[in-house]
Amino acid sequence: MTSMPRDFARPTLRIFKTAEMASTAVADLLEQRMVAKPDITIGLATGATPRLVYTKMVERAGAPSWRSVRCFNLDEYVGLDASHPASFAYYMNDLLFDHVDVDPRRTHIPDGTALDLEAAAKAYEALISETGGIDLQLLGIGRNGHIGFNEPGSEHDSRTRQVELTPSTIAANAPDFPEGEEPPATALTMGIGTILDAREIVLLATGPAKAEALYAALEGPVDLDCPASALRKHSAVTVFCDEAAAARLKRDNLSFTGDGYAAA
């Protein structure tokens, strides 16, 4: 697929020696934003990458408080309720919500068990808008460049909707499910357009398996083949990554800052 017909900015890039250092830096940024705006609205991601970020936040023993924070999760599998150990609702409760003073009424996850999934997606989109939008969106990146569950081919103005997952995404997520259980083939996800509406975006990428996707997102064409390339249309994106994920990236205009490399 051809690239879109204009140049886009490269997000701010911060490279750290290890995944733990990158995750700590993301947790530090979240803490700073929560202190500055206690009623901040944060978009949250799931999967293997942000686990350490949530662990770091829980270790901070309630400082800052989550009491006034509003949270919107990116996605949820269709057909899984909150009690299923592979659901993202279970993940969030287990790793974060059950360990901080967040108000459950201010945590929102797409309803993958809704009888009318199209209506549920529209309602989720409307709730984000009605509550003032997302201040900071946390993202990971899939091996095929997906953000949320926006797989390759997703339109950059897409909104919350039901999507079909690619075989590679299903295979990557299979270890999260009980042995012998196939992951769902579809999910509800915020759209790329929904993500780009956030005032600030933070992408965390760690490990060698993400190196190709990160390279495509930051240095390849801005097109539908790599959903994360759409982030280059946004004016306030910071990418936190470790050396392994940054293996293919150019290091132009970067300087060592003490904890890692950042834009000079």
Per-residue pLDDT reduced to its tens digit, 167-221: 999 999 999 999 999 999 999 999 999 999 999 999 999 999 999 999 999 999 9
The yes-or-no answer on residue 99 being catalytic is no
The yes-or-no answer on residue 225 being catalytic is no
Catalytic residue (choose from 151, 197, 242, 243): 151
Whole-model pTM: value is 0.94
Torsion of CA 101, 109, 137, 124, to 10 degrees: -130
Catalytic residue (choose from 76, 84, 146, 243): 146
Nearest of 33, 54, 139, 34 to residue 99 by alpha carbon:
54
Residue 56 has pLDDT above 50, yes or no: yes
The whole-chain average pLDDT of the chain stands at: 93
Catalytic residue (choose from 75, 111, 197, 243): 75
- Of 44-48, 225-229, 254-258, which gets the smallest average pLDDT? 254-258
Residues 32 and 26: their CA atoms lie apart, in Å, by 10
Instruction: Please tell me the total number of residues recorded for the chain in this structure.
Output: 264
pLDDT digits (tens, 9 = 90+) for 109-154: 999 999 999 999 999 999 999 999 999 999 999 999 999 999 999 9
Catalytic residue (choose from 73, 144, 150, 173): 144
Per-residue burial over 123-139, b if 16 or more Cβ lie within 10 Å, else e, is bbbeebeeeeebbbbbb
User: What Rg do the C-alpha atoms of the chain give, in angstroms?
Assistant: 17
The answer to whether 175 and 86 have CB atoms below 8 angstroms apart is: no
The yes-or-no answer on residue 144 being catalytic is yes
Q: Confidence class of residue 251 from pLDDT cuts 50, 70 and 90?
A: confident
Q: What is the pLDDT of residue 256?
A: 61
Better-predicted residue by pLDDT, 2 or 218? 218
pLDDT digits (tens, 9 = 90+) for 126-135: 999 999 999 9
Residue 4 has pLDDT above 70, yes or no: no
The yes-or-no answer on residue 75 being catalytic is yes
Q: What is the pLDDT of residue 250?
A: 84
Neighbouring CB atoms inside 10 A of 17's CB total 13
